[in-house]
Amino acid sequence: MPRSTSKPTPPAFELPGIDTLRKAFEGLAPLSELRIDPEAWARAQQHYVQNASALWNEALTQHLSPPSDRRFAHPAWQDSGSGFLAQLYLLNSRALTELAESVQAEPKTRARIRFAVQQMVDASAPSNFLALNPEAQKKALDTQGESLAKGLQLLWADVQRGKLSQTDDSAFQVGRNVATTPGSVVFENDYFQLLEYAPLTKEVHERPFLMVPPSINKYYILDLQPENSLIRYAIENGHRTFVVSWRNPDERCAHWTWDEVIEGAPIEALRVVREITGAEQVNALGFCVGGTILATALAVLAARGQRPVASLTLLTTLLDFANTGVLDIFVDENLVKARELTLGDPAKPGLLKGAELAQTFSFLRPNDLVWNYVVGNYLKGEMPPAFDLLYWNGDSTNMAGPMYCWYLRHTYLQNELKQPGKLTVCGEKVDLGRISVPTYVYGSREDHIVPWEAAYASTQLLRGPVRFVLGASGHIAGVINPASKNKRSHWLGPENHPADPQAWLQKATETPGSWWRDWAAWLGRHGGGVKPAPKAPGSRKYRPIEPAPGRYVQQKA
């Protein structure tokens, strides 16, 4: 019987109809609020059919282009069947993203739809499933099933630990090979331990330097390794350096309020540092939420007629919460009310668990921080390599419910911190405009947690002379960018700071290397004179309690 030479009939490629899409998005907004432009949908359908047909023809002629996505970089994905599956997945992903962009709704609803579609797209990648992943299948055959057995062991270990492993936690120990800069705990209360670090220079600046890290993370992101430690860098530049090490709240701390933390942590730390050193003023730095907390404390003190700082550094900090990036999609009145009922009730306060916070931040970048490890750990049976940054990322912290709910409502939801006199904290009307000290404001250009434009907005709120610097990379990698490695770039622009951040950027100049050197020169100008370095930590009143990094940072969520 003669063999047929006709080509296989191509599948009927077609995107879902408008009504189907509207129903799929119904959970994100009422149907009455969702509209999909018929013309945009028709264009998307046309593009999809054209691209799918072209892909089908490529597959038939055995000239299929290799997938460009790194998830499909292994040679096993070059097989015609697997390659076609990967390319079809990527085509569907682009089409769904295009459809999500065509939805007509208010901005937050559109952002939620885009986020939900991206989560669905990332989760449905064929690389995430053993039955569809030729690389994992090949490894299982090559190892005679050992990789699958190891993957099951890693999965069970993670189930018992209650979190997805992103690094080999056994490779690190706080105080042994991370957070190793020598120092002492010189003060502690229920909220924090105050660390003072041993000087590395014979002379130090007259004004001491206090760093307030975010309360939702461990402080040692600023002291991972000696070569990338911002803490050590400050010490090497002749600053007598103190750092707030937050207590990791447990059930006994669930009642903490925003006011109690402001009074008991940054305000108390400033008082103790000044007492220990005898300095009238200190230089202070706040990182991320730590910057919000520190600025609030300084506004409270300004209302009391106190000026305890000579300069202020804010790293990736939100004071104006009009633009909160991807996090904005999670925050609305219903969510805040639900949190207030479950965590913020003063009669029965709760804790926001660190694992929940960590999971939320991981799913902001699911391919890098979730599915990459699902595939590597469980499908291929590979223990993730040791990486200090990911160890820190997994060392999560809790938040006291009342404090968290206050922060959520008055900043992310209602954006009241920037409004002079709108909020009362620690019995004082808060006005950020009363913070009239030289301020160094830093933003990271690819930051998805604190968009650089939002960090820049602080220049419009603070009264003193402000220097804004824009760094490359993201929320963490942009900040932890050691000067010695001379990596990435930073941008320096006009210091009159127009209201529009893009207008500033247009006049800014790109400078190769880390922003650390620029900051060190700026901070040095506010350090005062120099004097001999102290021979011992603390003072007669504040004697060392224990060596750094102290007990509080060792507490697990």
Question: Superfamily for 183-351+398-554?
Answer: Alpha/Beta hydrolase fold, catalytic domain (3.40.50.1820)
Candidate ranges 66-75, 85-94, 286-295; pick with highest mean pLDDT:
286-295
Residue 316 contacts residue 327 (beta carbons within 8 Å): no
CB atoms within 10 A of CB 129: 13
CA distance 146 to 151: 8
8 Å CB contact between 226 and 179: no
Q: What is the pLDDT of residues 460-477, one digit of tens each?
A: 999 999 999 999 999 999
Please check whether residue 339 is in contact with residue 469, taking contact to mean a CB–CB distance below 8 angstroms. no
Task: Tell whether the model's pLDDT for residue 268 goes beyond 80.
Answer: yes
Confidence of residue 387 (pLDDT cuts 50, 70, 90): very high
Give the torsion sign (CA, 520, 521, 523, 524): positive
Predicted confidence band of residue 1 (pLDDT cuts 50, 70, 90): very low
The dihedral region occupied by 153, where left means phi > 0, alpha psi between -120 and 50, and beta the remainder, is alpha
**Of the candidate ranges 304-318, 352-366, 396-410, 528-542, the one whose mean pLDDT is the lowest:** 352-366
Residue showing tokens 């003669």: 2
Of 58-67, 155-164, 338-347, the range with the lowest mean pLDDT is 58-67
CB 181 within 8 A of CB 229: yes
Which of 91-95, 449-453, 474-478 is predicted with the least confidence, judged by mean pLDDT? 91-95
Token digits for 316? 């990736």
Helix then strand count (H, E) for the chain reads 19, 19
Q: What is the pLDDT of residue 105?
A: 82
**Is 288 an annotated catalytic residue?**
yes
CB distance 380 to 131 below 8 Å: no
Mean pLDDT computed over every residue of the chain: 92
The arithmetic mean of pLDDT across residues 434-457, rounded, is 97
Which pTM does this prediction carry?
Answer: 0.92
DSSP states of 280-330 as a string? S-EEEEEETHHHHHHHHHHHHHHHTT---EEEEEEES--SS-S--GGGGGG
- The set of residues, in sequence order, having a beta carbon less than 8 Å from that of 312 and lying 6+ positions away, is 283, 284, 285, 286, 294, 295, 298, 435, 437, 438, 439, 440, 462, 464
DSSP structure class, residue 553 = G
Q: Active-site residue among 253, 288, 405, 426? A: 288
Q: Which residue has the higher pLDDT, 342 or 4?
A: 342
**With 70 as the cut, is the pLDDT of residue 81 above it?**
yes
pLDDT tens, residue by residue, 394-422? 999 999 999 999 999 999 999 999 999 99
DSSP state of 42: H
Mean pLDDT of 228-245: 98
The pLDDT tens digits for 291-327 are 999 999 999 999 999 999 999 999 999 999 999 988 8
State residue 112's pLDDT score.
87
For range 110-135, the mean pLDDT: 93
- Give rounded-to-5 percent helix, strand, coil for the chain: 45, 15, 40
The answer to whether 134 touches 82, Cβ cutoff 8 Å, is yes
- Tokens standing for residue 386: 């040791």
Give 16: exposed, middle or buried? Use CB within 10 Å, 0-12, 13-18, 19+. Answer: middle
Which range among 91-100, 136-145, 223-232 shows the weakest confidence by mean pLDDT?
91-100
Distance in angstroms (rounded) separating the CA atoms of residues 15 and 99? 9
Q: Which residue has the higher pLDDT, 227 or 17?
A: 227
pLDDT of 5 > 60? The answer is no
What are the residue ranges spanned by the domains of the chain?
Answer: 18-142, 183-351+398-554
Q: What is the mean pLDDT of residues 275-285?
A: 98
Q: Which whole number is the average pLDDT over 60-88?
A: 86
8-22, 211-225, 445-459: least confidently modelled range: 8-22
What would the mean pLDDT of 148-165 be, rounded to a whole number? 93
The model's confidence at residue 15, banded by pLDDT at 50, 70 and 90, is low
When pLDDT is averaged across residues 86-112 and rounded to a whole number, the result is 86
